[in-house]
Chain A
Amino acid sequence: MQFGWSDDEQAYRREVQAFLAEALPDDWEAISAGGPGSDAQAEFSRGFCARLAERGWLTQSWPAEYGGADASPWRHAIFGEEMWGNGEPRGPQYMNVNWIGPAIMKHGTEAQKAEHLPPISRGEVLWCQGFSEPEAGSDLAALRTAATRDGDHYVVNGSKIWTSYANHARHCFLLVRTDPESSRHKGISVLLCPMDLPGIDVREIPSVVGERYFHEVFFDDVRVPVSCRLGPEHEGWNVVSYALQFERVGAARYHRAALILDDLAERARERGLLGDARVREKLGHARTLCEAARVLTYRVIDQRAHGAPPSADSNVARIAGTTAEQAVADLALEIFGEESLEYGSYADTRFRWAMTAGVAVGATEVQLNLVARNRLELPRE
């Protein structure tokens, strides 16, 4: 056991920060106000990720045989913190690098790897994830979107919902039920589905979180080649479980929350609030929650660095991260008071972003179930 960053790691963080200072435009605050899925940010990510790719940073965590640099999970974590801390200029592409690419490496055919990994590592392709359905949210295994085999195609019918980035994505990491007789975790398959196939219809769901944040994706007799299936037929649940463990700690949301908090403290100072004992206590509390989320996430990264299999510690980290993010967003409203009520104001954009934290990537209650079962060994009944 030993804590703290090595000199190399600290130097690398400074290098990333220097790059960001130069690479992010003056109007980045405006571009990033809509979140990673906004039109502006998705568009920005194309040029930005290409620049990351040129520097060898975009997929540095990948194995060398797939064009990566075998960078340690710690280096990847530093990179992820700096990206999320600055509003995620990779846009939706962080998903490609963090879990879609690794899932294709683990389960993909040679043809799939050759088709999908190079564009991801060049930073030129956007993906979306087709998981949730109207009747399968937290209970993902209840999904019903059907893929019926017809020769060398699957015919897909059904719909996906809450799909971020669907309006920009070239491909969808799509969960379907290939065995109509099956239920729950059996009989599910993963399709790497092109989004330009006939019969796919993407509709925006207006939301209070932001514009173009959520979509519904309808599949009407969409013919997807069988060669698009990732992993064995009916065994898709294993593929997605593997991917989800990476997703849960993939986004360094705690770090973004911590940087927003630093910002808030400065604004509190400008308003003469920093001397107020009550405000200081709340700032200290929120900072404590951010730090707890950080160290618990580092615990998971450390397990990955040691090659340990994914564990419920990733659920612990995610729960702590949600708590921290919500505490910071609440404090933003309190410090800015009624000024927060104006659309697009500092507190407004931060608050709307944070309000999804307890629901995205599996509701907190599902994470708590997994902690209770897998860490605390509490009985099911």
Chain B
Amino acid sequence: MNFELSDDQKAILESVGALLVRHAGAERAIALAAKAEYDGALEAALADAGFFGLAVEADTGPLEAALLVEASARAGAVAAVGARALVAPQVVAGGELAGPVALAVAGRDVPVRFAAHARHALVLDGDVARRVELGPGDVAPVRSSFGFPMGRIAAAALAGGESLGAGSGERLRRWWRVATAVETGGTLRAALDVTLRYVRERRQFGRAIGSFQGVQHRLAHADVQVEGVRWLALEAAGLDAPEELSAVAAAHAAAAAKSVFDETHQFSGAMGFTREHDLHVWSMRLQALRLELGGVEAHRRAVAEARWPAS
């Protein structure tokens, strides 16, 4: 057990960081969102640097991929990093899948994150996962308030593609939960950071609003949740996505996404509703993340099912 980054992990995060400084950040996210665009340049840069292979390379593994996903989310990246770097390598034989990659559930006609720009979808269909190559006309873009470019995948496309074999559905579900939890953790931390900066500076009644105990305690509670999400998610990635722990991480992430959204907006006042203030870049995404795979109730039931099987 070791919670500190190794020198190799630090080096990876440094080069990831250098790339994200050029290809991510709130300003870029806001500009892309205005046109409902995907950050193809970031995706290409991550691919060129070999980061999508982190999960399967000899010297690295899913934990390093998870650190990449977390850093990307924290930087407000508009790219499906979790699906391609963390999920696809565990589900698709041979590891990598050409991106962008969207994650979808069979039979559900709902907006799917990144689908409008995706080359592939991994579709969860009960016990199996299917790989679907998306062609022109397969996806209709969907306008959304929730921070990600989205699309609706046509029923025929969603039902098509190639089965990835026995056990692939369960693998997809576990790693999807882990990837969502890791991404939520990075997004939560960024939303909290923006809010902390705001309440330290914003003065009302002659004092910084962050000096009121009523504000401090609620933000401290939020910090406890965010920190828990972070470590549960990284631990789940590092331990190869055990069924119970993956669901635990996803459940904690979904619950935190709801409450931290509420708190960060409450303490950012009307400023938090504007597009000139950065909070929305991360906060609105939290709502999309917390609904994936059935949301908090489904994750909690999955925890119980994994730990105390009914039969």
Q: B-contacting residues of A (Cβ < 8 Å)?
A: 1-5, 9, 74, 262, 265-266, 269, 274-275, 277, 280-285, 287-289, 291-293, 295-296, 298-299, 302-303, 306, 313, 316, 319-320, 323, 365, 368-369, 371-372, 375-381
Q: Across the interface, do B63 and A275 meet the contact criterion of CB distance under 8 Å?
A: no
Q: Across the interface, do A292 and B223 meet the contact criterion of CB distance under 8 Å?
A: no
Most buried by B among A269, A295, A368: A295
Instruction: Quote the shortest CB–CB distance from B257 to chain A (angstroms).
Output: 14
Q: Across the interface, do A319 and B247 meet the contact criterion of CB distance under 8 Å?
A: no
Q: Across the interface, do B231 and A285 meet the contact criterion of CB distance under 8 Å?
A: no
C-alpha gap A265/B287 in the complex (Å): 31
| Given A291-B232, A298-B1, A285 and B223 contact (CB-CB distance below 8 Å) | no
Q: What chain A residues lie within 8 Å of B210 (beta carbons)?
A: 378-379
Q: Which of B48-56, B130-138, B258-266, B299-307 contacts A (4 or more CB under 8 A)?
A: B299-307
Interface of A is mostly: helix
Instruction: Quote the shortest CB–CB distance from A326 to chain B (angstroms).
Output: 14
Q: Across the interface, do B300 and A292 meet the contact criterion of CB distance under 8 Å?
A: no
Q: Across the interface, do B9 and A1 meet the contact criterion of CB distance under 8 Å?
A: yes
Q: Across the interface, do B4 and A1 meet the contact criterion of CB distance under 8 Å?
A: yes
B44 at interface by CB-CB < 8 Å: no
Interface of B is mostly: helix
Q: How large is the interface on B (under 10, 10 to 19, 20 to 34, 35 or more residues)?
A: 35 or more
| Given A281-B300, A288-B300, A296-B228, A378 and B223 contact (CB-CB distance below 8 Å) | no
List the B residue with the shortest CB-CB distance to A298.
B1
**Apart from A277-B301, A293-B228: 4 A-B pairs, beta carbons within 8 A:** A3-B234, A3-B238, A372-B216, A376-B196
List the B residue with the shortest CB-CB distance to A318.
B224
B108 at interface by CB-CB < 8 Å: no
Q: Across the interface, do A378 and B234 meet the contact criterion of CB distance under 8 Å?
A: no
B274 at interface by CB-CB < 8 Å: no
Q: Across the interface, do A376 and B219 meet the contact criterion of CB distance under 8 Å?
A: yes
**14 interchain pairs (CB within 8 A)?**
A1-B2, A3-B2, A4-B239, A274-B304, A283-B300, A284-B251, A284-B307, A285-B251, A295-B235, A313-B227, A320-B224, A371-B224, A372-B219, A379-B210
Q: What chain A residues lie within 8 Å of B220 (beta carbons)?
A: 319, 368-369, 371-372, 375-376
Q: Across the interface, do B251 and A376 meet the contact criterion of CB distance under 8 Å?
A: no
C-alpha gap A296/B220 in the complex (Å): 14
C-alpha gap A377/B224 in the complex (Å): 14
List the B residue with the shortest CB-CB distance to A295.
B231
Q: What chain B residues lie within 8 Å of A368 (beta carbons)?
A: 216-217, 220-221
Q: Across the interface, do A381 and B207 meet the contact criterion of CB distance under 8 Å?
A: yes
Q: Across the interface, do B307 and A379 meet the contact criterion of CB distance under 8 Å?
A: no
Interface mask (B238-262 → A, CB under 8 Å = 1, otherwise 0): 1100001101100110010000000
- Contact residue among A2, A74, A365 (Cβ-Cβ distance under 8 Å from B217): A365
Most buried by B among A5, A365, A368: A368
Q: What chain A residues lie within 8 Å of B224 (beta carbons)?
A: 296, 316, 319-320, 323, 371
Q: Across the interface, do B221 and A284 meet the contact criterion of CB distance under 8 Å?
A: no
Instruction: Quote the shortest CB–CB distance from B164 to chain A (angstroms).
Output: 27
Q: What chain B residues lie within 8 Å of A283 (beta carbons)?
A: 300, 303-304, 307-308
Q: Across the interface, do A287 and B200 meet the contact criterion of CB distance under 8 Å?
A: no
Q: Across the interface, do B300 and A381 meet the contact criterion of CB distance under 8 Å?
A: no
Q: What chain B residues lie within 8 Å of A375 (beta carbons)?
A: 220, 223
Q: What chain A residues lie within 8 Å of B207 (beta carbons)?
A: 381
Q: Across the interface, do A371 and B223 meet the contact criterion of CB distance under 8 Å?
A: yes
C-alpha gap A274/B304 in the complex (Å): 9
Q: Across the interface, do A377 and B302 meet the contact criterion of CB distance under 8 Å?
A: no
Q: Across the interface, do A302 and B1 meet the contact criterion of CB distance under 8 Å?
A: yes
B271 at interface by CB-CB < 8 Å: no
Q: Across the interface, do B248 and A288 meet the contact criterion of CB distance under 8 Å?
A: yes
Q: What chain B residues lie within 8 Å of A379 (beta carbons)?
A: 200, 208, 210-211
Q: What chain B residues lie within 8 Å of A277 (beta carbons)?
A: 301
What 5 A-B pairs come out closest when comparing CB atoms? Answer: A284-B300, A284-B303, A292-B228, A381-B211, A372-B216
Q: What chain A residues lie within 8 Å of B251 (beta carbons)?
A: 284-285, 288
B31 at interface by CB-CB < 8 Å: no
C-alpha gap A309/B255 in the complex (Å): 31
C-alpha gap A371/B224 in the complex (Å): 9
List the B residue with the shortest CB-CB distance to A292.
B228
Instruction: Quote the shortest CB–CB distance from A223 to chain B (angstroms).
Output: 42
| Given A287-B248, A371-B220, A378-B210, A1 and B196 contact (CB-CB distance below 8 Å) | no
B166 at interface by CB-CB < 8 Å: no
Q: What chain B residues lie within 8 Å of A296 (beta carbons)?
A: 224, 227-228, 231
Q: What chain B residues lie within 8 Å of A282 (beta carbons)?
A: 300
Q: What chain B residues lie within 8 Å of A285 (beta carbons)?
A: 251, 255, 300, 303
B109 at interface by CB-CB < 8 Å: no
Instruction: Quote the shortest CB–CB distance from B65 to chain A (angstroms).
Output: 12
Q: What chain A residues lie within 8 Å of B213 (beta carbons)?
A: 369
List the A residue with the shortest CB-CB distance to B299.
A284
Q: What chain B residues lie within 8 Å of A292 (beta carbons)?
A: 225, 228-229, 232, 248, 252
